Amino acid sequence: MSTAVLVLENGQVFRGLPYGAVGETLGEAVFCTAMTGYQETLTDPSYHRQIVVATAPQIGNTGWNDEDGESTGSAGSDSATGDSGKIWVAGYAIRNPTRRVSNWRATTSLEDELRRQQIVGIAGIDTRTVVRILRDHGSMRAGVFSGAALAPDDELVARVRNQPPMKGADLAGEVTTEASYEVSPSSADRETRFTVAAIDLGIKTNTPRMFAQRGVRVHVLPSNSGLDAITALNPDGVFLSNGPGDPATADTAVELTRGVLGEGLPLFGICFGNQILGRALGRDTYKMKFGHRGINIPVIDHTTGKVSITAQNHGFALEGEAGEEFDTDFGRARVSHVCANDGTVEGVELLSGQAFSVQYHPEAAAGPHDAAYLFDKFVTLLEGDRARGTSA
């Protein structure tokens, strides 16, 4: 029987069976606590260059379909045809692969899709032990090896340690769209009320869809777009998407955000976009020990005191404390949201109301819908900005 191994940077080796493609893959080992939604996880561009360890004991039950992918518009996918199925994870590690696909929407099995897209994975390992190691010691460089890529353990450990770390990685440019595209409200949604310029740092398919459902036309722009590309659209607001990598490397996006704030345009950011807005407001970021990845993470909104259960995927975070207020070049700001589990900053906002962001994923693909109101909040901000402009 063929063998596959998961090798961690600390020298620990886990032996199992090949799952998906056979070969070698390198990346940062992280774990995801979601019990469902593996297709959305695998196609999320924010997971670029990461080997995802699933905490759910059985994976693959619902197979793979042509509708639930989240990578439309990203490099290598076809936004014109609606192909949202590009897998962005570097590798996948699971315990028990399902023996049979059981879902009427499935077009193939998960393993067959992993093979088709040449994603190297491993099955049959004790993922509980791997997750405990990552929680205790932090996310670390790793590799999955099978077939001709197998070698003595010390050689595989050396390969793992020779790859670059996630800290300092500039990855948004590797997942962004190669050309701008537009997502408009359909007749099934409502008439177009506003236009938003969205900076694609690794945007997910459901985000423009959520805007369209609220009457917002979205122009998705590459991550290296300048302020002129935004103002040429005469947008009502600007959106900063999720994405992979170290926000400390995203100087272009930070300067663009400062330009947007200087123009007085309403701004909304999520995940990586939260970190970009925070850095534009003068805050620092840091690499978390093992990050937040899953669809069951509680966040406290300090304006209302309400707790939302959220979908998250980030290994970096903003410096700050719950409710902290601070001065910026664009007026006073504050930390608006924190994680109920560990106090991590989960949102910042300008007190003027011009800009706000959250660290989690309100588009909920996959995940709970507790935070969908944030899209409504942004539309309300656009309405107020337009009303002020009209009265002026």
Check if the beta carbon of residue 48 is closer than 8 Å to that of residue 34: no
CB 24 within 8 A of CB 284: no
User: Is residue 363 flagged as an active site residue?
Assistant: yes
Any binding-site annotation on 16? Answer: no
Instruction: Please provide the DSSP assignment of 53-103 as one string.
Output: EE-SSEE-TT-B-SS----TTSTTSBTTTTB-----BSEEE-SEE-SS---
Residue 239 is labelled as binding a ligand: no
Catalytic status, residue 191: no
The response to whether 273 counts as a known ligand-binding position is no
- CA-angle at 48, arms to 36 and 157, nearest 5°: 100
Tell me the pairing of strands 331-339 and 325-328.
Answer: antiparallel
DSSP per-residue string spanning 327-382:
EEBTEEEEEEEEETTT--EEEEEETTSSEEEESS-TT-TTS-STTTHHHHHHHHHH
Is 313 labelled as part of a ligand binding site? Answer: yes
Question: Is 275 annotated as contributing to ligand binding?
Answer: yes
In contact, 50 and 163? CB cutoff 8 Å: no
What is the C-alpha separation between 171 and 74, in angstroms, rounded? 12
Catalytic, 271? Answer yes
Write out the DSSP string of 127-147: HHHHHHHHHHH--EEEEEEEG
Q: Among residues 32, 271, 339, 349, which one is catalytic? A: 271
Residue 272 is assigned to a ligand binding site? yes
Residue 316, annotated as binding a ligand: yes
Burial code of 181-201, b = ≥16 C-beta within 10 A, e = fewer?
A: bebebeeeeeeeebbbbbbbb
- On the 0-12 / 13-18 / 19+ scale of CB atoms within 10 A, 202 is buried
Q: According to the annotation, is 296 in a ligand binding site? A: no
**Active-site residue identified among 70, 111, 346, 363:** 363
Binding site feature residues: 46, 243, 245, 272, 275, 313, 315-316
Report, as residue numbers or ranges, the catalytic residues: 271, 361, 363
Which residues contribute to the annotated binding site for L-glutamine? 46, 243, 245, 272, 275, 313, 315-316
